[in-house]
């Protein structure tokens, strides 16, 4: 469980750094120079790659969140299922008493 939380924290840090890189790449600078189409294509490609990386990281984080929620729900359901009704508890005690009685009868024979 702690490993999963740690992975989630690392992914959040990765998301933050990727968003920062995307913001840096997407800054528009006003220059009087001629447009360099090769540079623009390169920056566009970098922006595309960083966005794809961000999507992958967010989907992985979503998967971890779902796992944690599922784990919490399972724990809650398990706890609820461990609560024994009074009738079941009494039946268990009766069975234990019967087994104990039969063991005593067997030993006395």
Contact 57, 14 (CB under 8 A): yes
Contact 51, 22 (CB under 8 A): yes
The string of pLDDT tens digits covering residues 35-82 is 678 878 888 888 888 888 888 888 888 888 888 888 777 777 666 666
Contact 12, 61 (CB under 8 A): yes
Which pLDDT does position 62 carry in this prediction? Answer: 84
* CB neighbourhood size of 50 (10 A): 20
DSSP conformation class of 109? -
Q: Which two tokens stand for residue 15?
A: 């998301």
Tell me the domain boundaries of the chain: 2-83
pTM of the model: 0.50
Mean pLDDT, range 76-96, rounded to an integer: 76
Which pLDDT does position 25 carry in this prediction? Answer: 77
* Contacts of the segment 73-76: beta carbons below 8 A, 24+ positions apart: none
The string of pLDDT tens digits covering residues 8-26 is 888 888 888 888 888 887 7
């Amino acid at each position: 469980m702690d490993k999963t939380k740690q992975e989630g924290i690392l992914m959040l840090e990765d998301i933050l750094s990727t968003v920062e890189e995307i913001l840096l790449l997407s800054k528009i600078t006003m220059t009087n120079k001629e447009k360099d189409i090769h540079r623009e294509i390169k920056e566009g490609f970098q922006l595309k790659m960083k966005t794809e990386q961000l999507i992958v990281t967010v989907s992985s984080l979503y998967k971890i969140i779902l796992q944690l929620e599922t784990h919490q729900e399972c724990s809650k359901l398990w706890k609820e299922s461990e609560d024994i009704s009074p009738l079941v508890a009494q039946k268990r005690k009766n069975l234990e008493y019967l087994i104990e009685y039969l063991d005593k009868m067997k030993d006395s024979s």
